[in-house]
Amino acid sequence: MDFTDVSLTALHVLRAVAEQGTFTTAAAPLGYTQSAISRQ
């Protein structure tokens, strides 16, 4: 798997989802909607 095209934003989102447990709870502190997080 090639991760050279992964943006820092995507990594921040992934970390937030891992820490918060759901897309919805991860979205708010990042200033995104749940659907925007899910599409990343």
Could you read off the pLDDT of 16-39 as tens digits, one per residue?
999 999 999 999 999 999 999 888
Average pLDDT over residues 3-27: 91
Alpha carbons 26 and 28: distance in angstroms, whole number: 6
Alpha carbons 3 and 19: distance in angstroms, whole number: 21
How high is the pLDDT of residue 1? 62
State the pLDDT confidence band at 12, using cuts at 50, 70 and 90.
very high
pTM to 2 decimals? 0.77
Nearest residue to 6 via CA among 39, 37, 40, 33: 40
